[in-house]
C-alpha cells in the first residue's frame, strides 16, 4: 500500500511524508520517506531547520486471520535523517558586552529507533485510511560542531530521549497477488 501522510502539527511546521508497505500475509515491510522544516521564534532570536528522513522496518499483524477490511499492527522502525539548521540569537555578557550569534549546521545526520502501532481500515475498493502511533527512542546525531542539533526531521526534539509521534494516513492498495 502506498500512502501520503501528514503529521498534525502547529503553524511553525511544514512537512509531508509518503509511506509504502508490502504485505507478506501477516507480516509487512514498511518504508517511509518524508521532508520537514521548522521555523521557531526564540526569546532573543530564531531557529530554523529543514531536511529529509526515511524509516524502514517490519510490522506484524495483530489479527489472527489476515483481513481485507482491517489491519492492526505492531512494528519497529529504524529512522535516519539528513538536515541543516540555523540559529540566530543575541546574548548579553556582563563583561564582554552584547553578542550576536549566527550559527549553522549543514549536513547533520540523525538516527533513531521507533516502536509503532496502528490501524488501517478499508474505506472503498482500494482506498484505505489509518493511523500510526510512534514511540521514538535513542536519538543520536553527528556532523555538527558548535551548535548542538535541536530538532531532528522525522524524530523531533533531540534533547528528548523518548518522543511520541502520530500520523494519520490515506492509502491506496495495489494488489500484487491473487488471494
Partner 1 sequence: MKSIPFLLLLILVTSCFNDSDCLITATTEVKIRFKNANGTDRTVDFSSITVSGLSNPFYVDTPASLISLPVNPTSNQVTFTFYHDEVSETLVVTYENEIRVVSKSCGAYQFQKNVSVSESDFSQVSVINSRLLTDVSVNLEAYF
φ/ψ of 65, rounded to 5, equals -110, 135
Kindly report the number of other CB atoms within 10 A of residue 20's CB atom. Answer: 14
Write out the three cell numbers for 148. 548542538
Rounded least distance, CB 42 to partner 1, Å: 4
Site for partner 1 in 135-154 (CB under 8 A): 146-148, 150
Nearer to partner 1 by Cβ, of 162 and 174: the residue is 162
In three-state secondary structure terms, 11 is coil
Residues 6+ apart with CB under 8 A from 147: 85, 87, 103, 104, 105
**Total binding residues toward partner 1, as defined by CB under 8 A:** 33
Q: Does 60 bind partner 1 (CB under 8 A)?
A: no
Q: How far is CA 172 from the centre of its chain?
A: 21
Considering beta carbons, is residue 22 or 62 the nearer one to partner 1? 62
Tell me if 11 contacts partner 1 by CB under 8 A.
Answer: no
68 sits near partner 1 (criterion: CB under 8 A):
no
Minimum Å gap between C-beta 57 and partner 1 is 17
Give residues 111-140 in contact with partner 1 (rule: CB under 8 A): 117-119, 131, 133
Phi, psi of 93 (to 5 degrees): -95, 130
Task: Cell 474505506: give the residue.
Answer: 123
Contact 114, 79 (CB under 8 A): yes
The binder of partner 1 chosen from 22, 60, 99, 127 (CB under 8 A): 99
Residue (27 or 131) nearer to partner 1, CB: 131
Q: Is-contact 152 138, C-beta < 8 A?
A: no
Residues that bind partner 1 (CB under 8 A): 40-45, 47, 62-63, 72, 74, 87, 89, 91, 93-96, 99, 101, 103, 117-119, 131, 133, 146-148, 150, 159, 164, 166
Amino acid at each position: 500500500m502506498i500512502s501520503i501522510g501528514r503529521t498534525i502539527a502547529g503553524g511553525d511546521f511544514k512537512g509531508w511524508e509518503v509511506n509504502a508497505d508490502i504485505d507478506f500475509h501477516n507480516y509487512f515491510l514498511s518504508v517511509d520517506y518524508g521532508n520537514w522544516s521548522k521555523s521557531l521564534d526564540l526569546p532573543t532570536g530564531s531557529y530554523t531547520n529543514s531536511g529529509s528522513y526515511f524509516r524502514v522496518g517490519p510490522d506484524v499483524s495483530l489479527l489472527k486471520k489476515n483481513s481485507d477490511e482491517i489491519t492492526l499492527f505492531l512494528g519497529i522502525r529504524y529512522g535516519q535523517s539528513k538536515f541543516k539548521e540555523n540559529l540566530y540569537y543575541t546574548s548579553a555578557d556582563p563583561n564582554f558586552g552584547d553578542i550576536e550569534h549566527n550559527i549553522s549546521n549543514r549536513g547533520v545526520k540523525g538516527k533513531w529507533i521507533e516502536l509503532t502501532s496502528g490501524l488501517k481500515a478499508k474505506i472503498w475498493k482500494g482506498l484505505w485510511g489509518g493511523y500510526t502511533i510512534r514511540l521514538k527512542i535513542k536519538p543520536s546525531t553527528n556532523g555538527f560542531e558548535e551548535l548542538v542539533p535541536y530538532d531532528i526531521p522525522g524524530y523531533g526534539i533531540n534533547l528528548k530521549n523518548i518522543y511520541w509521534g502520530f500520523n494519520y494516513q490515506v492509502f491506496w492498495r495495489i494488489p500484487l497477488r491473487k488471494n
